[in-house]
């Protein structure tokens, strides 16, 4: 079917169900950041292939809501589709709910697939519509339409994530989560977030790009752990492992019937568990909506996980050193594009021990493209890169040892504008200020956020993205609950958590500058001058890669900042050089020389 034919077929089904509108979000039943092709319903319906977009269809109109990253792409892909682009990043663009309330009459009913909305999202939407005299109905209208060429849920077998990497047994993790359930007097807990399931059961898979997770659900009860997964994904090795760990296995779709048979008190995380699962819980069950204890537990990396992260960072350091040496000495003997640079970096990472895949799509933004925060070059749509101007490179790897995420901005050649040096130095000063602070226990990430912005604020500059996100261990590159950003987040920073430290400055059409390290929270040594009994925390810098010192405006650097850089560069060289050839080590030594 064409897009126009799909919209007509959807509207026919809407009328049969008494709906005035239908919403198709760009998500999956597990609230995933990245999802399997099976659930790319927005793309199937609209033809829009961007990673973030929500379709809203009424009996007369069709709208695609997406953010500024995809305006140009959406404008091209929606041409002649009758679908209007809604520019969600623009100040005057209404929210989806506001647009529907202003468009539809009282008594109108909006339909959504409850598997694609979290309990909290569904409840909030329902309240808004009810206040406007409208209704909300749970119904899946895409499944009966998308019957041809729909990708299946991936069938690649899951595998055991060995304790030598995970650092803790399934039994110990399950025991701790059951204690958290007991505090809420819960008899069962429903878990749908794929990274939480992977962490809890020490399993990994190949189901979602950049994320080594397994499409599944888990119901944890007092005496039983049940994994709901497609049978094809459990081969002999996986079956033996799950049996050994005492994990019961049922079919993926059997989760609804299992939940319908629960008794007593059922616990769930309404920000993650989808509405369809919630609706399956018997009415006579007591329902407890709390943040998943798995989410917080997973964020505290144990000693083996932290040591694994250090090993992964060292492998990354070797790959990045080789890449930047190639970029400086050899790359421009032949024509290069953003895409060929991405391919070359992947080539070097492939050489690393225990490397599995990238942790997200590499961002290689040359000159003005670097100012697009979530820029994504493709083989068919990328800029030619020349030995001049600025290059922003944001990349990461998934290693069995851990997950990496690093951004470096480098000058490729030519006359360097003074503003470029100032911008880079403001970013570097903020990056260093955040990375070297210590704070008392009980501090939240948003209380530290201004440290990364203070230098640029004094110059009248700021940035709109978060300063730091949590990072998983051979799991999602973005994880919670901790972060460092302006928005209020009640989660306090605690030992074992990993965050990014990545301030930036972006000048449209000129350049983007971002500097990013991963840092882990650790106890700080007690200082002699301390006047309280409060325990202090600080960051351990995990990432190992030099800064481009040619971009530093030394006149605005403090002696302490210079000392920090020199000490860091010494560490980068001492740890990385033994894994390099003599020529590579000599090149890195020059990059890490004292300033």
Q: How far apart (Å, rounded) are the C-alpha atoms in residues 89 and 69?
A: 9
pLDDT for 74 equals 83
The DSSP code sequence of 374-407 is T----SSS--EE-SSSEEEEEE-EEETTEE--EE
Whole-number pLDDT of residue 49 = 87
C-alpha to C-alpha distance for 80 and 4, rounded to whole angstroms: 9
pLDDT score at 441? 94
Look up residue 401 and give its two tokens. 């040892």
Phi, psi (deg, nearest 5) at residue 390: -100, 140
Cα dist from 505 to 422, 433, 531, 590, whole Å: 10, 16, 38, 27
What number of other Cβ atoms are within 10 A of residue 393's Cβ? 24
Which pLDDT score, from 0 to 100, does residue 376 have?
A: 84
The helix/strand/coil state of 473 is coil
Pairwise CA distance, residues 415 & 483, whole Å: 37
Cα–Cα distance measured from residue 362 to residue 428, given in angstroms and rounded to the nearest whole number: 21
Q: Give CA angle at 483 (480, 486), nearest 5°.
A: 135
Report how far residue 11's alpha carbon sits from residue 102's, in angstroms, rounded to the nearest whole number. Answer: 20
Please name which of 211, 182, 183, 179 lies closest in space to residue 197, comparing C-alpha atoms.
211
Reported as type and span, the H/E element at residue 337 is strand 336-337
Q: Look up residue 533 and give its DSSP letter.
A: -
Q: Residue 587, Cα to own-chain centre: how many angstroms?
A: 33
Q: What CATH number has the domain spanning 303-587?
A: 3.90.230.10
Taking the CA atoms of 100, 103, 109 and 112 in sequence, report the sign of the dihedral they define.
negative
* CATH superfamily of the 159-291 domain: Creatinase/prolidase N-terminal domain (3.40.350.10)
Put simply, whether the predicted model's pTM sits higher than 0.95 gets the answer: no
Q: Tell me the residue ranges of DSSP E strands in 118-194.
A: 135-138, 159-160, 188-191
159-291 and 3-138 share a CATH fold: yes
Q: How would you class 138 by CB atoms within 10 Å of its CB: exposed for 0-12, middle for 13-18, buried for 19 or more?
A: middle
Per-residue pLDDT of the chain (595 residues; tens, 9 = 90+): 899 999 999 999 999 999 999 999 999 999 998 889 999 999 999 999 887 899 999 999 999 999 876 787 788 889 989 999 999 888 899 999 999 999 999 999 999 999 999 999 999 999 999 999 999 999 999 999 999 899 999 999 999 999 999 999 999 999 999 999 999 999 999 999 999 999 999 999 999 999 999 999 999 999 999 999 999 999 999 999 999 999 999 999 999 999 999 999 999 999 999 999 999 999 999 999 999 999 999 999 999 999 999 999 999 999 999 999 999 999 999 999 999 999 999 999 999 999 999 999 999 999 999 998 878 888 988 999 999 999 999 999 999 999 999 999 999 999 999 999 999 999 999 999 999 999 999 999 999 999 999 999 999 999 988 999 999 999 999 999 999 999 899 999 999 999 999 999 999 999 999 999 999 999 998 876 666 667 999 999 999 999 999 999 999 999 999 999 999 999 999 999 999 999 999 999 999 999 9
Judged by DSSP in three states, 67 sits in coil
Distance CA 288, CA 184 (A): 8
Other residues' Cβ atoms within 10 Å of the Cβ of residue 34:
18
Distance of CA 254 to the CA centre of its chain: 29
Cβ(510)–Cβ(368) below 8 Å: yes
Instruction: For residue 519, give both structure tokens.
Output: 């840092």
Neighbouring C-alpha atoms within 13 Å toward the C-beta of 74: 25
Calculate ∠ Cα 533-539-541, nearest 5°.
Answer: 155
Residue-range domain boundaries for the chain:
3-138, 159-291, 303-587
Instruction: For residue 17, give the 3-state DSSP assignment.
Output: coil
Those residues whose C-beta lies under 8 Å from the C-beta of residue 185, and which sit 6 or more positions away, are 265
Q: State the fold for domain 3-138.
A: Creatine Amidinohydrolase; Chain A, domain 1 (3.40.350)
Give the DSSP letter of residue 104.
S
């Amino acid at each position: 079917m064409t897009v126009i034919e799909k919209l007509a077929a959807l509207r026919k089904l809407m009328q049969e169900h008494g709906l005035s509108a239908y919403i198709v979000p760009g998500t999956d039943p597990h609230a995933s950041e990245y999802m399997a092709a099976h659930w790319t319903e927005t793309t199937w319906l609209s033809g829009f292939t961007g990673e973030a977009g929500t379709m809203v269809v009424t009996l007369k109109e069709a709208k695609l809501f997406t953010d500024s990253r995809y305006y140009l792409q959406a404008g091209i892909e929606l041409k002649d589709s009758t679908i209007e682009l809604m520019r969600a990043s623009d100040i005057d663009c209404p929210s989806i709910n506001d647009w529907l309330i202003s468009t539809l009459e009282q008594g109108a009913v909006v339909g959504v697939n409850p598997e694609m909305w979290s309990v909290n999202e569904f409840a909030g939407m329902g309240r808004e519509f009810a206040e406007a005299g409208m209704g909300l109905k749970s119904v899946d209208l895409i499944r009966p339409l998308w019957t041809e060429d729909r990708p299946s849920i991936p069938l690649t077998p899951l595998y055991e994530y060995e304790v030598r990497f995970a650092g803790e047994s399934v039994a110990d993790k399950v025991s701790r989560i059951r204690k958290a359930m007991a505090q809420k007097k819960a008899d069962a807990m429903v878990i749908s977030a794929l990274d939480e399931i992977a962490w809890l059961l020490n399993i990994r898979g190949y189901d979602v790009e950049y994320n080594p997770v397994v499409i599944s659900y888990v119901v944890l009860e007092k005496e039983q752990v049940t994994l709901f997964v497609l049978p094809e994904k459990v081969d002999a090795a996986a079956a033996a492992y799950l049996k050994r760990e005492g994990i019961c296995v049922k079919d993926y779709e059997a989760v609804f019937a299992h939940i319908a048979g629960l008794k007593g008190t059922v616990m769930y995380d309404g920000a993650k568990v989808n509405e369809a699962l919630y609706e399956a819980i018997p009415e006579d069950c007591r329902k407890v909506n709390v943040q998943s204890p798995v989410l917080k537990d997973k964020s505290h990396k144990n000693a083996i996980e932290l040591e694994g992260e250090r090993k992964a960072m060292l492998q990354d350091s070797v790959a990045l050193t080789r890449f930047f040496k190639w970029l400086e000495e050899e790359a421009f003997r032949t024509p290069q594009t953003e895409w060929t640079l991405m391919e070359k970096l992947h080539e070097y990472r492939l050489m690393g021990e225990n490397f599995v895949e990238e942790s997200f799509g590499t961002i290689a933004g040359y000159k003005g493209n670097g100012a697009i925060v979530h820029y994504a070059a493709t083989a068919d749509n990328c800029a030619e890169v020349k030995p001049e101007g600025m290059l922003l490179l944001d990349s990461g790897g998934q290693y069995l040892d851990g997950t990496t995420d690093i951004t470096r901005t480098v000058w490729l050649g030519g006359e360097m504008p003074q503003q470029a040096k100032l911008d880079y130095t403001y970013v570097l000063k903020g990056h260093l200020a955040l990375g070297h602070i210590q704070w008392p226990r009980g501090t939240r990430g948003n209380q530290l956020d201004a440290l990364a912005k203070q230098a640029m604020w004094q110059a009248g500059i700021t940035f709109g993205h978060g300063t730091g996100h949590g990072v998983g261990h051979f799991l999602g590159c973005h994880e919670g609950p901790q972060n460092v950003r302006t928005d209020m987040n009640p989660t306090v920073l605690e030992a074992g958590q990993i965050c990014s430290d990545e301030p930036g400055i972006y000048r449209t059409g000129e350049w983007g500058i971002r500097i990013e390290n991963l840092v882990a929270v650790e106890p700080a040594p007690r200082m002699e001058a301390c006047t309280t009994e409060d325990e202090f925390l600080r960051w351990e810098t995990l990432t190992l890669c030099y800064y481009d010192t040619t971009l530093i405006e030394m006149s605005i650097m403090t002696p302490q900042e210079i000392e920090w850089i020199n000490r860091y560069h010494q560490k980068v060289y001492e740890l990385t050089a033994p894994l390099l050839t003599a020529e590579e080590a000599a090149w890195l030594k020059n990059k890490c020389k004292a300033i």
